[in-house]
Structure 1
Amino acid sequence: MTGEWTWHGGNLAAAKRHFGTDDRPWIDLSTGINPVPWPGAARVPIDWQRLPEADDLQALESAAAACFGVEPRHVCAVPGTEIGLRLAGRLIGGGAHHIVPSYRTHGEMVEASTPAGWDGLDDRGGSVILANPNNPDGRVVEPAALHALLGRRTDDGWLLVDEAFADFDPALSSASSVADDARLLIFRSFGKFFGLAGVRLGFILGPGAALADLRALLGAWPVSAAAIAIGTAAYADSGWIAAARRSLPERAAALDAALARAGYRASGDCPLFRLIDTDDAQGLFERLAHRAILSRPFADQPRWLRLGLPASEAELARLAAALADG
């Protein structure tokens, strides 16, 4: 199994070249984003001839802040959380521990970071980097526990929480702990919950001084006019957001049932993806790919396979049939 699919989700073009298949449309379950995206993107007016205005950027950050439950001055827009994570790591430096398993980027944010498990985390110095919910196992840590961990951060460390998958349940967020005197940075993704990963938009929540340093690195036009326009309109669509928060757990339950019928037990509390642990993870990955269904394998965990949500009943039926055809 090559790194083309174990590095991160996606690489659908490489899968098509490698596995061939007939003219069937591919189902990409490898990325863990909402398969039913916010529908208004094509209708949002975008001025392609002008550089983004500062007022429009502030409007975007205000709309996002209202959804996150923080003041706008604690929100900084970035061109995707991948870049935000790496820039924040550069600013913080020092010693750090990143929870594993999780995003590979977490281990690359701070040069001196070392992998760590959850046991004994309270006793470790330096910065702590983690995701909540975690990827790929969906583990959830209650905000109260993270707040206690934050209270033990001293002048030599920060708590960095990647909340890329937290939008489906606001109660999971640690945003209420963000303050100018708190050594806390939170990373939020736009593309996953809204199903528009190509917009490349994310946010960092944190103290005003830290965000000022981040803005200095980002420069005058940190995100595109398209990202500003689409993001502002999407965060203002409270009706769609509420409906998505209701429908995603229902879609995840349907995926759980399909996996169970095929003899697989899904793990994880995040409704945007499910992780299965099986002796034949590599064989299952290839079997699905030969049926034009792309999933997410892991080089360092050969028993694991992660699947995102099918976009429709027809896609779910195709997946169920492929799982049963062993």
Structure 2
Amino acid sequence: MLEHGGNLRDAALRFGRDDWLDLSAGLNPHWYPAPALPGNAWHRLPEPDPELALAASAYYGAPLMLPVAGTQAAIQALPRLRKPSRVTVAAPSYAEHAHHWSGHGHTLTQTPYDALNAAVADSDVLVVCNPNNPTGASIPADQLLQWAGQLAARGGWLVVDEAFGDTAQHNSVAAHSGQPGLIVLRSVGKFFGLAGIRLGFVAAHEDLLRELADLLGPWAVSGPAQHIAIAALRDQPWQQNTLQQLLAGGQRLQQLLAAHGIRSTGTALFQWWSEDRAEAFWQHMAERGIWVRLFKQAARGIRLGLPPDEAGWQRLESALKEWINKEPT
């Protein structure tokens, strides 16, 4: 199983403390306040509520959406819906994509973002995180739609993971997902801070959504998750206020890092940078109870999210000051 952020039990076991400032997962630290659940929510089988798909389509601007148990469920299932294909996954990006497309007889190539245009001609499937996790790199929607057309013309797919796209909705291609060959993944875990309810959505042509639903089987999304998500997706005042808060927070985080000599890129929810001393930085922060995401492989660097309060901001700033004054070992 691949390593991910949010693994505070591992942090506690390794460093023996319980006062963690968790910046490792890039989630909104001020999650949506879940409404009270109906009294029978834990008793009834979770039959699909059509209001959830409608609320998701309205919020994300997609013609049709299939609720799934987190975008992870779709990432694991989509490679099983195609015969063996030539698959290009943009790199670096969320590692689960390459992990699952490397099986089921597919031929996998990982390609840097600046080389994707040339790779389309030799691909049956192209997978792109937009904005990218972990770097925050973004590809214009017009370019993505051009690639989608090229791939669809020969029966191919463009899979666009927009899990972090809520703060850059202007660049979403979800509105075009009714056309064959374009598949868009969205998540309530990041912007809404509701990673614990395990809910995401797939926007695609109705035929593909039907195949995916059949593969995932019945009761894919819990009843409580459906109830909470409908409220969150319809709450426009909360969404608008949260968007402004996150945009301001992302700018503040980037400026804080820059003030300590770190040139980062990212989104409103996280910042990332290539770091030669990545393990040392991660260790330095962990020793101070700050849990950040360490990337050891091709995307060697650090990603961290937004502190939840002013005390967290001050704690991060203090640790950064100590880092730049620390002698390299």
TM-score normalised per structure 2: 0.91
Structure 2 CA distance for aligned equivalents of residues 117 and 319 of structure 1: 31
Give deviations 1:36-64, integer Å, cap 9, x for gaps.
1112x15343611111233x2x1111101
Superposition deviation, residue 303 in structure 1: 4.3
Q: What is aligned with 2:165?
A: 166
The aligned runs of 1:73-112 (5 Å cut-off) are: 74-93=64-83, 94-110=85-101, 111=103, 112=106
Matched, 1:175 2:169: no
Give deviations 1:247-297, integer Å, cap 9, x for gaps.
1110011112221222211112x1110002232221110010011100001
Distance 1:95 1:201, change over 3 A: same
Structure 2 CA distance for aligned equivalents of residues 107 and 294 of structure 1: 25
Q: What is aligned with 1:45?
A: 38
Matched, 1:59 2:51: yes
Superposition deviation, residue 105 in structure 1: 1.0
Give deviations 1:61-83, integer Å, cap 9, x for gaps.
11011001123xx2100001111
Q: Does the Cα contact within 8 Å between 2:120 and 2:126 map onto a contact in 1? A: no
Q: What is aligned with 1:133?
A: 131
Q: What is aligned with 1:283?
A: 280
Q: Does the Cα contact within 8 Å between 1:106 and 1:130 map onto a contact in 2? A: no
The aligned runs of 1:197-208 (5 Å cut-off) are: 197-208=195-206
Q: Does the Cα contact within 8 Å between 1:38 and 1:196 map onto a contact in 2? A: yes
**SS, match of residue 165 in structure 2:** coil
**SS, match of residue 166 in structure 2:** coil
Q: Does the Cα contact within 8 Å between 1:7 and 1:298 map onto a contact in 2? A: no
Runs ≥4 residues deviating over 3 A: none
Q: Residue type matched to 1:157 in 2? A: G
**SS, match of residue 190 in structure 2:** helix
Structure 2 CA distance for aligned equivalents of residues 216 and 12 of structure 1: 35
The aligned runs of 1:220-299 (5 Å cut-off) are: 220-268=218-266, 270-299=267-296
Distance 1:231 1:302, change over 3 A: closer
Structure 1 CA distance for aligned equivalents of residues 191 and 16 of structure 2: 30
Deviation larger for 191-200 or 214-223: 214-223
Q: What is aligned with 2:327?
A: none
Q: Does the Cα contact within 8 Å between 2:135 and 2:265 map onto a contact in 1? A: yes
Structure 2 CA distance for aligned equivalents of residues 302 and 210 of structure 1: 32
Out of 4, 25, 30, the position equivalent to 1:31 is: 25
Kindly tell me the number of residue pairs found equivalent between the two proteins: 313
**SS, match of residue 45 in structure 2:** coil
